[in-house]
Amino acid sequence: MSSFTLVVCLFAGTAMAADRGDIAVADFEGEDYAGWDAKGTAFGKHPARGAFPGQSYPDGFLGRGLVNSYMGGDAATGTLTSPPFRIERTYLNFLVGGGGFAGETCVDLLIDGRVVRTASGPNTEPGGSERLEWATWDVREFEGRAATLRIVDARTLNWGHICVDQFVQSDRKKAPEPATRKLVVGRRYLHIPVTRNARVRRVRVESDGKALHDFDVNLTDQGEAVDFWVFLDLEAVKGRDLTVKSMLPPASRALDQLKLDDDVPGAEGHYRERYRPQFHFTARRGWLNDPNGLVWEDGLFHLFFQHNPFGCGWGTTYWGHAVSPDLFHWTEWPLPLSPREYGDGVYSGSAVVDLPNTSGWGRPGHPAMVAAFTSVRRGECLAYSIDQGRSFVDYAGNPVVTHAGRDPRLLWHEPTRRWIMAVYDAITGHEGIAFHSSANLRAWKLEGRLDGFFECPDLFELPIEGHPGESRWVIYGGDGAYLVGRFDGREFTPETTEKRRVWYGDFYAGQTFSNVPGGRRIQVGWGHGISFPDMPFNQQMTVPVELTLRQSPDGPRLHANPVRELAGLRGVRHEITARMIEPGRDVRLDLGSDLIEVEAEATVDRAASLSLTVRGVPVELDGRTGTLRTGEIAAPLPIEGDRVSLHVLVDRGSIEVFGDDGRVGISRGVIPPADGKGLVISARGGPIRLTRLVAHELRSAWPMPTDRTSH
């Protein structure tokens, strides 16, 4: 049993001796504002029915209607004023969300034309949620007097709107109030229950008066069903006192449901969930997006990634961390980078191993692994580890670069023997990538800039295959578009003005591993095209690919092919011998797995099309239009010569297609239909000569131990 000391401070609000019942002032359920006076352009002529175009959904309002001043976007302004009403209860409760700017995005209570109470939403910085939360005014001093409500939108910039609903007079409070629970950490993990539709609560975990974690979570309250559990690793503070704080509704017992344990609940079912991808990386629990800090050291590939460990949507941003010997069998390690304070998210970045110890942070036999990341409130920051990424120290000199940008990519530039930081930058008003240099990773100098790229840059050098001694530099943007050129450590000089791309579809923020033996350039991206229904995790990484640079009629071009390590997952092999595929005479192949790899080569006439339907998901190469397509995603692939190749991977949440030996790649988030079985090969518009087809049933990459967080 765990050792607990419990203190709960909940101030439920004083009820009158006889409950007089609530009085609804306004619920905004009608077809108009029912006597409220709307002025300006922000509120329209009737209540909203949810979100407006370009707005996230305002969760938390009741019924079908609410006041939402985003009708004309953040630029619209106006007021909405109620008819007079009489104050007859102790409290006035209402739901409010949106901008948090006093006097600009606010709700006012007026007595005799004077503002006596005011409130606004929670948001003042980019990000945030549109969710409405209860607010309460104590109005007992005005009981019996006439009052008016005024909703104000006077702001035209970010978060220049407000959402309001359900004005209710009551003798009971509805607004959240401080709740505290004290624990003695006798076990490794603190388990936190999550209910998907529960209100988002801010939870602060402290030890010795200092915050260890401060995050948002859909915290399960008493009586709500638990959808899944998330956890915090408290090994570093084992044996110490812990305080957990939150703002909760009066009489809530949500903190009572927190648990301490040495095991992770339900660990035997992790990675076995119905929709869990089996050879694409997903976080054990929670949300992931951009891959960060891809680096190889001492036999392990390190995958750091943007991570909300406390929910299945984008939220409080940490870095997650997983390691693998082969890019497929991953083990999650404890969270490496956490926000210093609430709202100061740890955004995207990169990592390198400082083998020459230019920083001085390394120790004999223990080179420093250095992570560069964007701290939302500080700028570009560094943290370093001398235990192979198991723990990181925040550099005392942070931030090392301050500018209007984010997402620093570190690399070593051998010709100048300096470190380079390629970082998204908008300081001149034009989006682009800035290049900073440093001899020691601590002090940085701005060198040059390349316009025309947006966030999550990557920069690397590759040899040109078949041309010994020739190489080029490649610069990548978050959207997967790239330029080939030359880089001297200060300026990038493109060889063409037009960007190219390998990837199409659900691929974003691709980054390559640093320090890989043999000079291999291995890339992983965020496969953002699918949300896994009713799962305790969300989003996946794309399959690791090896990038090569090959000469073409219009200059060097990137090719991407799944890494050779994928072969280690191959199981039963199926092969179709060379044959003609006639229109209307499909060839079918039964497969005994839902994890499939198909490699096909064919001769396709420019008037014909080749189709592979894998587990019910179609892939088509149209010879007439020179287009490779799966679903709504298409990539240009003109047929060159007399042979084409397709390489198809199907997992539980995606299909990836590589055409013409990796000249183009498509990533598409899709859950294959449950009744989609096997493989169907078909032709349209003319016969296809299939010269080779091999299909592999793939094994799961998850070894599924009882505890994958330990290291």
Euclidean distance between CA atoms 334 and 352, whole angstroms: 19
**Can you give the pLDDT at residue 382?**
98
Q: Which of 311, 391, 397, 326 is nearest to 359 (CA)?
A: 397
Whether the predicted pLDDT of 710 surpasses 90: no
DSSP string, 563-605: -GGGGGGEEEEEEE-SEEE-TT--EEE--S-S-EEEEEEEEE-
Euclidean distance between CA atoms 655 and 619, whole angstroms: 9
pLDDT band at 17 (very low <50, low <70, confident <90, very high): very low
Catalytic, out of 290, 425, 458, 506: 290
pLDDT tens track for 192-232: 999 998 888 999 999 999 999 999 999 999 889 999 999 99
pLDDT tens track for 655-668: 999 999 999 999 99
**Can you give the pLDDT at residue 674?**
87
**Can you give the pLDDT at residue 640?**
84
pLDDT band at 18 (very low <50, low <70, confident <90, very high): low
3-state secondary structure at position 237: helix
According to DSSP, residue 509 is labeled E
Euclidean distance between CA atoms 706 and 263, whole angstroms: 8
pLDDT tens track for 437-456: 999 999 999 999 999 999 99
DSSP string, 430-452: S-EEEEEEESSSSS-EEEEEEES
Query: Looking at per-residue confidence, does 199 or 511 come out higher?
Result: 511
Topology classification of domain 568-698 = Jelly Rolls (2.60.120)
pLDDT tens track for 248-270: 999 899 999 999 999 887 788 88
Euclidean distance between CA atoms 136 and 131, whole angstroms: 16
Q: Which of 672, 671, 605 is nearest to 641 (CA)?
A: 605
pLDDT tens track for 81-108: 999 999 999 999 999 999 999 999 999 9
Whether the predicted pLDDT of 607 surpasses 90: no
Q: Which of 521, 546, 514 is nearest to 294 (CA)?
A: 514
Q: Evaluate whether the domain defined by 23-170 bears CATH number 3.30.360.10.
A: no
pTM: 0.89
Residue 609 Cα distances to 66, 550, 656, 661, angstroms: 52, 27, 19, 18
pLDDT band at 675 (very low <50, low <70, confident <90, very high): confident
Euclidean distance between CA atoms 506 and 334, whole angstroms: 28
Residue 482 Cα distances to 240, 295, 459, 489, angstroms: 51, 21, 10, 18
Euclidean distance between CA atoms 412 and 514, whole angstroms: 9
Are 240 and 185 spatial neighbours (Cβ–Cβ below 8 Å)? yes
Whether the predicted pLDDT of 352 surpasses 50: yes
pLDDT tens track for 477-505: 999 999 999 999 999 999 999 999 999 99
Task: Report the top-level CATH class of 280-562.
Answer: mainly beta
Q: What is the dihedral of CA 355, 356, 358, 360, to 10 degrees?
A: 70
| Chain CA centroid to CA 227, Å | 20
Euclidean distance between CA atoms 239 and 160, whole angstroms: 47
Q: Is 344 a catalytic residue?
A: no
Pairing of strands 418-425, 405-413: antiparallel
Q: Which of 200, 292, 191, 201 is nearest to 234 (CA)?
A: 191
pLDDT tens track for 534-574: 999 999 999 999 999 999 999 999 999 999 999 999 999 99
**Can you give the pLDDT at residue 168?**
98
Whether the predicted pLDDT of 399 surpasses 60: yes
Could you tell me what percent of the chain has a pLDDT over 90? 88
- Return phi, psi of residue 568, to 5°: -70, -15
pLDDT tens track for 140-180: 999 999 999 999 999 999 999 999 999 999 999 999 999 99
Domain(s) of CATH 2.60.120.200: residues in the chain:
23-170
Domain(s) of CATH 2.60.120.560: residues in the chain:
568-698
The residue behind tokens 């420019």 is: 606
pLDDT band at 707 (very low <50, low <70, confident <90, very high): very low
pLDDT tens track for 36-83: 999 999 999 999 999 999 999 998 899 999 999 999 899 999 999 999
Q: How many residues does the chain have?
A: 711
